[in-house]
Amino acid sequence: MITGDIVLKNILITGGAGYVGNRLVPKLLSSGYYVTVYDILYFGKETLPLSHPNLHVIQGDIRDIALFEKSVKGIDIVLHLACISNDPSFELDENLSKTVNYDCFEPLVVASKAAGVKRFVYCSSSSVYGVSDAPQVTEETPLVPLTLYNKYKGLCEPLLFKHLSPDFVCVVIRPATICGYSPRMRLDLSVNILTNHGVNKDCITVFGGSQKRPNLHIEDMCDLYAMLLIAPSEKIQGEIFNVGYQNFTILEIAHMVKKVIAEEYPEKLPLGINITESNDNRSYHISSEKIKRILGFVAKRSVEDAVRDLCYAFKAKKLPDSFSNAWYYNVRQLQVRETV
């Protein structure tokens, strides 16, 4: 909460009512921060700790720069998580998605700087690397995005760095695919998909299998955000950091899921793995050595930890109707909203 001689305690999180935000917001509140969630609330806000006196929720579109300018007054740090997330969601309406993920990005940065924000953290994505045969994809690896979602995630990064200054610290992170339980659950992410199939279909369906994917437990993602709030400015100014923990093929992840489910649900044995075709060819093996070297950040929780957390959530009936409820799936929820 203290950077140099300046106490930075007022945090605004765009997209803070989402999958990661629902784990991050309580964490920051418990650490004494004042948190403003700025979110369009397509998935509601009821899963947030709304009764907490230090939480303020603003229902707002990040393209509404006038509202954002009002909302960011008095804010010390902006964590920019909001976007149309994942390729299928982006492709529902590519022009609309571009306005959300790219066109409004620089105006948000400009508004934040003008309001006196001291630090801007941009959540990009490791998917910007597309396909790479390199044994370790570093931050210097050329970006070869396969989709418009990946492309615009990467194009926002230099727009942020245009505006860095001694009083406006800018940092970009490229997270691996997040996994694990959240009150605003997503069941359209690789580890979470496989676990849902294994627990509720008694068979793990693998799409492709040979693609290499980096993974990161959602709690480790939140730990990193908390670290970036207090990291010395000179260590993060103008930097890009990969962040992941374990790199596995999708088929390797499926076998890990099978192992944990067998331990948690022995009555489901034998548990099968069904391999089918996939049109998602993203494959890369990211290196997180830079963030370890500069910030000392090392993820602590494994894919198996995430699967076990999900098993506990299923057992506790926290994820009912996990295949039929559109709320767990970004693209389906956006489609539902388009028809109402």
Residue that the structure tokens 């627990």 belong to: 199
Cβ atoms of residues 45 and 22 within 8 Å: no
Q: Is 28 exposed, middle or buried (0-12, 13-18, 19+ CB in 10 A)?
A: buried
Q: State how far the Cα of 86 lies from the Cα of 186, in Å rounded to an integer.
A: 11
The length of the chain in residues reads 340
Catalytic residue among 122, 149, 181, 329: 149
Nearest to 180 by CA among 166, 194, 162, 201: 194
Q: In this structure, what token pair is assigned to residue 53? A: 């006196």
DSSP result, 156-194: HHHHHHTT-BTTBEEEEEEE-EEES--SS----SHHHHH
Q: 152 an active-site residue?
A: no
Other Cβ atoms within 10 Å of 148 Cβ, number: 16
Between CA 149 and CA 206, with CA 181 as vertex, the angle to 5 degrees is 60
Classify residue 165 as exposed, middle or buried by CB count within 10 Å of its CB (0-12, 13-18, 19+): exposed
Identify whether the C-beta of residue 172 lies closer than 8 Å to the C-beta of residue 236.
Answer: no
Tell me which residues are annotated as active site.
Answer: 149
